[in-house]
Structure formats: C-alpha cells, structure tokens
Amino acid sequence: NPLLLKNILQLEPTGEGNPKPIFYDSDVSFVSLKRFGQNFNHLRGVIRGRYKNLPFIGFNLKGLNRIVSDEPVYRFFYTPMFDQYNGSNTWKIRAMDIWQYHQT
C-alpha cells in the first residue's frame, strides 16, 4: 500500500530513541532465495506473502540457518525500506528475522 509506506517514511528519522517499525507476516513462502556476501551471511530474494510477491534483502539474519528447503511456510519479521540502488528507486522489505512456522 503506497499510502502506508509514505506514512511510515514520516516516522523518520529513526534511531536509538525512535526505532524503525517492525512488521510480521505469519504465512510467507520463498519464491526465490539467494545467500550472498563474503561469508554468505546475507540473504536476498522474493517472498510470497498473503497479498503479493515482494523483493526482500536481509543482512546478518538471525534466522538464516533456520531456513530449510522442505519447510513451505515461515514467519517473517521485516521493515519496509526505500532502495535507491544503481539508478533505480524501489520499495523493498528488509528481513529482520525468519522462523519456521509450526502449527500447534
């Protein structure tokens, strides 16, 4: 939702006294997934959420080793970010943590 993203930008600047909002989706699967970085400790890809597919990136993720290829659904914690890279401006999400979804 572009209006929601615009409103989130109005919360800036973020920092120690004003942390970025973190969102949660309990029904996420990966459309594409790639580890990168010198120690392969970063992750980028596309997730399929409830409403649409979204590109994401994650740096030094706590849940990186929790990602198992045969696990279809994950809990995904993220914050939206405005990505200005290589001359293009796009909205992405920055993964903060990833957990396997276990129904109880």
CATH number at residue 26: 2.40.50.460
In this prediction, residue 86 carries a pLDDT of 82
Closest CA relative to residue 79, chosen from 31, 3, 14 = 14
Instruction: Name the average pLDDT for the chain.
Output: 80
Q: Is residue 88 part of a domain?
A: yes
**Inter-CA distances, 62 with 48, 55, 77, 98, Å:** 20, 19, 11, 7
In a domain, 74, yes or no: yes
Q: Select from 10, 9, 54 the least CA-distant residue to 30.
A: 54
**Residue segments in the chain with a per-residue pLDDT below the cut of 70:** 1-2, 49-50, 62-63, 65-66, 68-71, 101-104
- Indicate whether 42 belongs to any domain: yes
**8 in a structural domain:** no
**Domain limits for position 63:** 21-100
| Residue 60 dihedral angles phi and psi, to the nearest 5° | 45, 50
Instruction: Please state the domain count of the chain.
Output: 1
Give domain status of residue 13, yes or no.
Answer: no
Q: Is residue 11 assigned to a domain?
A: no
**Model pTM?**
0.73
Q: Does residue 7 lie within any of the structural domains?
A: no
